[in-house]
Amino acid sequence: MLALIGPKLQYVNVTVNGNKAVALCDYGSQFPIASSRLLDVSDDDKKGNVNLHGVVGEAVTVPLMSVNVKLSGDEQCEQVMEELQLLCAVVDLSSSSHDVILPVACC
């Protein structure tokens, strides 16, 4: 019998442009992704577009936006950590467990 065993999913608490959120640390992600529930992308905020292609389905064209992301959680962590400015793809994430997907290098 073959069983696929992988690492547990890792989540971190973050703020995105001051909004509290949960980020999934994804080993397979090549680009930061933020939920459109967190961000309202106007034409002035838009830095361009990117084509995202998941494991299945067709590629989708989504807007890029510069956002400030900071690890959060406890008071001591928030005092030490600085915000990172990241260029994120903004998509309609249908996940109830997280609002952001970060490449592991960002976590």
CATH number at residue 37: 2.40.70.10
Residue 3 lies in a domain: no
Token pair recorded at residue 23: 């980020």
Q: How many other C-beta atoms are found inside a 10 Å radius of the C-beta of residue 48?
A: 8
Query: Which residues are 26's β-sheet partners?
Result: 103
- Cβ atoms of residues 22 and 96 within 8 Å: no
For the cut 80, the answer to whether the pLDDT of residue 23 exceeds it is: yes
Residue 38 lies in a domain: yes
Mean confidence (pLDDT) of the chain? 85
Q: What is the pTM of this model?
A: 0.83
Residue 4 lies in a domain: no
pLDDT tens digits, one per residue of 52-83:
987 788 999 999 999 999 988 766 656 667 88
The domain in which residue 61 lies consists of 10-106
Q: Return the pLDDT at 6.
A: 59
Residue 5 lies in a domain: no
Domain count, the chain: 1
Distance CA 45, CA 64 (A): 9
Residue 72 lies in a domain: yes
